[in-house]
Structure 1
């Protein structure tokens, strides 16, 4: 199923493999697009159902490095099955992607995050109650027991933090928690996340990182802090607005960092 999608992308983009792939969170866009393909033209590709996720894969060229940008992802709170959550990471592995970079919009939990704009994720807590690798042991055996302590590449985390410092971009290392959603957190849940050492919370990214590691790619995740979770008012519209406002800096950071990897 995914093999057909990979074949079609190679055919339409006229490229055989790609250096990196970026998955866009709500409202996040990247500049420098050469060509693009709607998800609807890719065989077996699921279609996004959430506002801010357009459902387009774009080809970017960064200093000669071919980068795929998936503008639209899939969330468990939509009622998705595991194969849909795994689809983009598995597709990227078949396209020769070496560096996998999911991005997301997140709510700031720690005061460090609340006072910053962008987070470079170096660890996570999976509170989804779901794991995209469930059931794969039937096909892959012991290979599914991936090491969570190696999910995030120290090399990539350090590279992105260093580049952010050089560019004057307000970025901090962060621990991400993934909640199932689609509701935003209660005050008591936020206090619990603080006790657990969480800097920010989202409804995505974590399962993609798990799947990408399973498929053998080097990972780092980036987040735009779109709201302070302690603010009594929270809305998807606010998330999209703040993500759009800060996505230019995120795009610049990704572009500059990838050029030097």
Structure 2
């Protein structure tokens, strides 16, 4: 963990931001349109311009920060995330989260596109993450700890902040949105999982599977951020339906159902407790 690298990136971004962001948003596949709804004054900062950052190559990810306001709340939005399957080291994947923290972000909202493992789920469902299983075989906190960011050994009991989960359920009820709850299991990808792996993951207690989110949640928990996360079930996982899985399907469903998730996030932001 390179604390100096985090500080250099934060020092570059800080004078470019119109105000101190309080909430960070990471938008997954097909969900990047929420970044276009930020209210003025907006600032756009491509990842490639920030010292130490790598560029996003995943389909549907624009690879840039947008800073502005949503529901009156100052936010810093990642319009597209970084993934280990792109060839990035896991420390590069979580660097944006750590930089957000240095810039003043207190709450992180994560979204992703995921495959449904729970047989009761269907394509288009929204799932509130209650916990996760790290099946990536790596952890972003491995290596020298930066005590300025957090402790050597990070407790993960309440990674997904209970008070924020309660707020999300209340927002869903207000909006009449059906919100599943469950456990997200992360793999590295980029290949989709096999039917045998999905059966094993279901036995382990997973409700959805994807290739992101967990590294960012670990890094955010380590540095004391509140975390809220959602999965948009864009496909049923391998072996559930008799059809192949494609990235086009993921993006198409994300674009079709992403509006519902956007409404949910906007309502949550509007009801966040004021510091």
State TM-score, norm by structure 1.
0.93
Structure 2: distance between partners of 1:80 and 1:109:
27
Runs ≥4 in structure 1, deviation > 4 angstroms? none
Are 1:32 and 2:44 counterparts? no
Is the 1:19–1:99 contact (alpha carbons within 8 Å) kept by the matching residues of 2?
Answer: yes
Is the 2:90–2:215 contact (alpha carbons within 8 Å) kept by the matching residues of 1?
Answer: no
Q: Identify the range of structure 1 (246-255 vs 73-82) with the bigger mean alpha-carbon deviation.
A: 73-82
- Structure 1's 46 and 89: CA in aligned 2 closer, same or farther, altered over 3 A? same
Are 1:251 and 2:262 counterparts? yes
* Corresponding position of 1:22: 25
Structure 1: distance between partners of 2:87 and 2:48:
19
Is the 1:113–1:119 contact (alpha carbons within 8 Å) kept by the matching residues of 2?
Answer: no
* Corresponding position of 1:239: 250
Is the 1:112–1:199 contact (alpha carbons within 8 Å) kept by the matching residues of 2?
Answer: no
Are 1:147 and 2:155 counterparts? yes
Is the 1:116–1:171 contact (alpha carbons within 8 Å) kept by the matching residues of 2?
Answer: no
* Corresponding position of 2:138: 130
Q: Determine which structure has the larger helix proportion and give its number.
A: 1
* Corresponding position of 1:101: 109
Alignment of 1:104-183 (within 5 A): 104-114=112-122, 117-137=125-145, 139-140=146-147, 143-183=151-191
Structure 2: distance between partners of 1:111 and 1:236:
21
Is the 2:124–2:232 contact (alpha carbons within 8 Å) kept by the matching residues of 1?
Answer: no
Structure 1: distance between partners of 2:91 and 2:120:
35
Instruction: Note the C-alpha offset of 1:244.
Output: 1.1
* Corresponding position of 1:215: 223
Structure 2: distance between partners of 1:144 and 1:175:
25
Structure 2: distance between partners of 1:199 and 1:37:
35
Is the 1:178–1:202 contact (alpha carbons within 8 Å) kept by the matching residues of 2?
Answer: yes
Instruction: Note the C-alpha offset of 1:3.
Output: 2.0
Structure 2 counterpart SS, 1:144: coil
RMSD of aligned alpha carbons: 1.7
Structure 2 counterpart SS, 1:258: helix
Structure 2: distance between partners of 1:76 and 1:40:
17
The count of residues paired between Structure 1 and Structure 2 equals 259
* Corresponding position of 1:201: 209
Is the 1:116–1:170 contact (alpha carbons within 8 Å) kept by the matching residues of 2?
Answer: no
Alignment of 1:186-197 (within 5 A): 186-197=194-205
Instruction: Note the C-alpha offset of 1:116.
Output: 5.6
Structure 2 counterpart SS, 1:37: strand
Instruction: Select 2:16's aligned residue among 12, 15, 34.
Output: 12
Structure 2: distance between partners of 1:82 and 1:187:
26
* Corresponding position of 2:77: 69
Q: Identify the range of structure 1 (142-151 vs 202-211) with the bigger mean alpha-carbon deviation.
A: 142-151
